[in-house]
Structure 1
Amino acid sequence: MFVLIATALVVFAGVSPTPSAAAPLQLVTDQWVPYENLSDAAAPGFSTEVLRGVFAAMKQEVSFEEFPWARAAQLVFRGERDGIFTAFYNEERARYCHFPSEPLARDKWIFFVRTADVGRLRFASFDDLVGHDIAVLRGASISPEFWDFARRHQHVVETASDEANFRMLEAGRVDYVVASHVNGMRLIASLGVAGKIAPLPSRSLKEDNLYVIFSKQRVSAEFVVQFSNALRRFKQTAAFRAIYRKYFQDASPAPKP
């Protein structure tokens, strides 16, 4: 079961279309608030709205489908869809996909714990995690050091959603949850667990740019360059600033392009 949303219209004016640009782009994503949430028509996500704006400016038709992240990634890696968002860089993704030179946003992976355990549980080194149960989104692009730790220890639980992870943490079924800082703070608010779950922001597992990435089997490198240039221009507009304020109203001002 998936959600399908279609947007804007075709042909890059004055530029010969690439094979992918001759037809609607088929992009896939997961639910990852505030970046993507296709089930909410009023707030489909920061990345979703930015991509709509960029592709409308390019006159490129695009559709969005929602799947669990690991399945969505495999659809792109197998060449069955054109791209996936919102993605951190890792070597596996780079084997199958073009990364634009211009990112959509920037975020970091951190740990969350029950508020009652703040001070008792910490993350100064991976030794602090030994013997504790940890929940993480399946297929998440966290640091290689984290996944090496996960392979060596039997206390890491991979699930299909961050929401499920936070519910397990609230219920005491795990001790730590790994999540993006922005997404985790939004989930604390939306799940009504403020005061029960808290971030451990002193050390992040990874901080990096976030991208929409395109299948090397289906999308040309030239088109990705065109997209990067269009995204860079869109970031200079009032429309981009309005989208940024909508989803990050409590954050610092929109970054300069």
Structure 2
Amino acid sequence: MRPLLCVLGLAVSMLATPSWAQQPLRLVADRWPPFTDSGMPGGGLATGIVTEALARAGYASKFEEVPWARALMGVGEGRYDVLVNAWYNEARTRLGQFSGPYLTNRIRLLKRQGEAFSYGKLPDLYPYSIAVVRDYAYAADFDSDTRLNKVPVRNFPSAVRMLAAGRVDLAVEDEYVARFNLRSESAAVRNAVDFVEQPLGENSLHILVSLKHPQHQVIVERFEQAIEAMKADGSYARLLKHYGL
């Protein structure tokens, strides 16, 4: 009887385990190379870091790439568990719980090559049209200033092509992302644009764990612990080097 009772006990415990605890975490991000891109090894740098950290924390995961607005909405609705590449803003805290930062993004403006342009503070940008990716957060003051003439676009390649064609005055993006994407553009586009000297700001990169997931707080805590362990053992630095950072 004892083996049978053990089997029955195991079966009961398995039935008692919530279904969400048995399923891989559903990771989501938009295409944002080199940080998130299903066509790159490991899904890109950010996806690679997050996947490894979650694995160390005891979570299996699977990654899906969708447009940004759908990713953000999906986390809010609980269709996805973890948004891989989130910059912090207050509105998103109603959708998910932010982890501590695991990467830093330097935000830069781009202008047309040869055009004299500089600025010291945000009001200096009011006369200019600025291409921004729809639903992205850049810097808190920039995002909240309704007097800025922001032109929503689908992605950075669209923004930089509009800039090169003279359809907007400026574009904005993380510096490394911009440089990565510019390598794929035509020489005509690459040679038509240049970075504005003064950075717009810096943003820390976080995961955003859906509030719909019953373990969202535990996932964040374990993820943060895993990131610290990766930095301590050198695996974090090796990932950065692998992706050229």
* TM-score band w.r.t. shorter chain: 0.7 to 0.9
TM-aligned CA deviation for residue 139 of structure 1: 1.1
C-alpha contact (below 8 Å) 1:18/1:222 kept by paired residues? no
C-alpha contact (below 8 Å) 1:18/1:223 kept by paired residues? no
Greater C-alpha Rg: 2
Counterpart of 2:216 (choices 194, 217, 220) is 220
C-alpha contact (below 8 Å) 1:27/1:63 kept by paired residues? yes
TM-aligned CA deviation for residue 52 of structure 1: 2.3
Q: Secondary structure at the residue paired with 2:84?
A: strand
Q: Which runs of 5+ in 2 are unaligned?
A: 1-16
Distance of 1:242 and 1:130 partners within structure 2: 42
Establish whether residue 241 from structure 1 lines up as the match of residue 222 from structure 2.
no
Distance of 2:113 and 2:180 partners within structure 1: 16
TM-aligned CA deviation for residue 19 of structure 1: 7.0
Establish whether residue 210 from structure 1 lines up as the match of residue 225 from structure 2.
no
1:54-104 CA distance string (max 9 Å, x none): 233234211111111122101111222101121111101122211123x22
Aligned residues: 226
Establish whether residue 130 from structure 1 lines up as the match of residue 129 from structure 2.
no
Establish whether residue 35 from structure 1 lines up as the match of residue 31 from structure 2.
no
Distance of 2:52 and 2:111 partners within structure 1: 37
C-alpha contact (below 8 Å) 2:28/2:80 kept by paired residues? yes
Supply the AA of the counterpart residue of 1:111: L
TM-score normalized by structure 2?
A: 0.83
After superposition, the Cα gap between the structure-2 partners of 1:220 and 1:130, relative to the gap in structure 1 and judged at 3 Å, is closer
After superposition, the Cα gap between the structure-2 partners of 1:18 and 1:191, relative to the gap in structure 1 and judged at 3 Å, is farther
Q: Which runs of 5+ in 1 are unaligned?
A: 1-16, 250-257
TM-aligned CA deviation for residue 240 of structure 1: 2.4
C-alpha contact (below 8 Å) 2:89/2:140 kept by paired residues? no
TM-score normalized by structure 1?
A: 0.80
Supply the AA of the counterpart residue of 1:214: V
- Structure having the larger proportion of residues in helix: 2
Residue 187 of structure 1 corresponds to: 181
TM-aligned CA deviation for residue 111 of structure 1: 0.7
After TM superposition, the structure 1 = structure 2 runs for residues 60-79 of structure 1, keeping only pairs within 5 Å, are 60-79=59-78
